């Protein structure tokens, strides 16, 4: 199992719309395309309040590539993105990291 940490920095005034898109659509679309939802966070103390942090999981790097390609090509996802961004992009920039669990990690 590999884990992907993604950090999305929302454009000014777009955090609520970004969170809504994840809550109402993205998590379900991830599962549809074989992406396992692990967790979602927003800072409440310290850090930046305009960031959405989340972790998703994949069986391996090949399955990750296939899942992202499948989701990007999904017309339903393309419609969700277009509708949610009709008044402008929701994010300023995104970061991601692929993480492999260590042998002593509770998540494997």
Q: How far apart are CA 6 and CA 45, in angstroms?
A: 19
State residue 17's pLDDT score: 96
State residue 88's pLDDT score: 95
Domains of the chain: 2-99 (3.30.70.100)
Strands 2-10 and 91-99: antiparallel
State residue 46's pLDDT score: 79
Measure CA 71 to chain center: 12
Predicted confidence pLDDT, tens digits, the chain (108 residues):
999 999 999 999 999 999 999 999 999 999 999 999 999 999 888 778 899 999 999 999 999 999 999 999 999 999 999 999 999 999 999 999 999 889 999 987
State residue 48's pLDDT score: 80
Q: How far is CA 108 from CA 1, 2, 36, 57, 93, in A?
A: 6, 8, 13, 10, 29
What is the pTM assigned to this prediction? 0.91
State residue 44's pLDDT score: 81
State residue 43's pLDDT score: 84
């Amino acid at each position: 199992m590999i884990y992907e940490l993604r950090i999305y920095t929302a454009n000014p005034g777009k955090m609520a719309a970004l969170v809504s898109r994840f809550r109402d659509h993205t998590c379900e679309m991830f599962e549809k395309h074989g992406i396992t939802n692990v967790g979602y966070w927003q800072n409440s103390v310290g850090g930046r309040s305009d960031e959405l942090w989340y972790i998703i999981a994949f069986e391996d790097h090949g399955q990750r590539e296939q899942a992202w390609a499948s989701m990007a090509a999904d017309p339903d996802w393309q419609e969700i993105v277009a509708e949610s961004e009709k008044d402008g992009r929701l994010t300023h920039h995104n970061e991601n990291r692929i993480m492999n669990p260590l042998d002593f990690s509770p998540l494997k």
